[in-house]
Structure 1
Amino acid sequence: MRTTVINAGVPGDGTKVFLEKAEEVLSLSEPPATVILSMGANDCINPHRRIPFAQFRKNFREICKMIPAKGFQLINIIPPVILFDEFVMKYPEMKDAVDDGLEELYLKYVDCVRAVTEEFEIPYLDLFKVFSSVSPLDRAESLTRNKQNCGAYDGIHPTPHGHILIGAMLYEKIKTLNYPQKTILCIGDSLTHGYPLAGMGTVEGDNYPSTLNRLFNEL
């Protein structure tokens, strides 16, 4: 059986935007199917998508109830750790926000994603913990893009090796859970989209949906 993997990641997406188009996005597949959700970072750190914490928590809870209620099997991705020293070099317009405590606020949003996910007993991949445990974020071997491993400031987006690891871990999780494998719908932000790597928004590039596509269909 061939697995259809759909990359529905959109850079900059947050919970408010997703709720406005949820029916359209979820119509890309039909149950039974597996949905992988990566969301939460932009609600905190994106100046064009930032929303108050209480609203974010309400939105995320609604999403976590809505997707399974429509018959999908859901796996959440906990947002990744951020190297804020590089983040402000890439996005200098965020320096004042970082100086005002954005890093501590981001941890609150990440904790919320994890807490709500556990409350609803949704399986998840904790990227914050996984990426933090591999190596210091500012080293060349980091799974997060940085000046040392890609020649440009970043501090938030995964490297190609990071995406391979994400895809491999999700593959094993789907297999272990015996979740539907005919269709896998990957929803989220730039993490899912694969910014700024080759094949952005497709399943034939350096993003984690592409890794899933290869693992399910080429092995």
Structure 2
Amino acid sequence: MTVNISSSNEWQRILGSSTVVVTDFYADWCGPCKMIAPTFESLSTKYSKPGKITFCKVNVDNQQSIAQTHGVRAMPTFLIFKNGAVAETIQGANPPALIAAVEKAVKLAGTSAPGASFKTPGRTLGGSSSGASTRRSGQAFGGQPWKFSPFHFFNVIITFFGLYFVSLFSFDPYKAAEKSHFNVNNPRDPPRPIQVNGQKVSGQGASARPGGVRTLADLGS
């Protein structure tokens, strides 16, 4: 967006609030000014950024004091200000020189061209900076190493077939499976003391389910 300067106060405010100010000093009767005006507007649309880069047009006939302050005597004259001081001057309708000067000013302002932020590799949720979502070999989700345990494998097999046969020979399979001793969600009885030569030994005995049924899970406890 191009700002048409209407007063000296507005001009000073813009110089003090924007890092880079690109200004077109022109006149309505100037043919070369009209020729390069579309190029200036295109650059303004592409690079304007509030507080960073501001594009202005100053009519030298209406704002003679501003033109005299900066020694403008030929039209068009393009002045590029950095922190309020003139950094570069382009006189005449020279589109390549104007484009090069504006692109240099964009770098001075510490901004990048539109679309530059989309050139970096994308990222996936939980992924690495390269966007890859692969995990290390031999690791499960959560970063913990996965290990095969024969004990847990056979315990799952015994529990499955135990529930299967209990429900198979029952009139109400669901209730039978729910009350079965193979149902891992059923509360277990407290460990029974082991007797050795008629004497009770407490502490490390294996807990048995009602009826003396034991699974590998019981043995593991």
Short-chain TM bin = under 0.3
Greater share of residues in helix: 1
Higher RCO structure, 1 or 2 (CA under 8 Å, sep 6+): 1
Of the two, which has the highest radius of gyration? Answer: 2
Length-normalised TM-score, structure 1: 0.26
Length-normalised TM-score, structure 2: 0.26
Greater share of residues in strand: 2
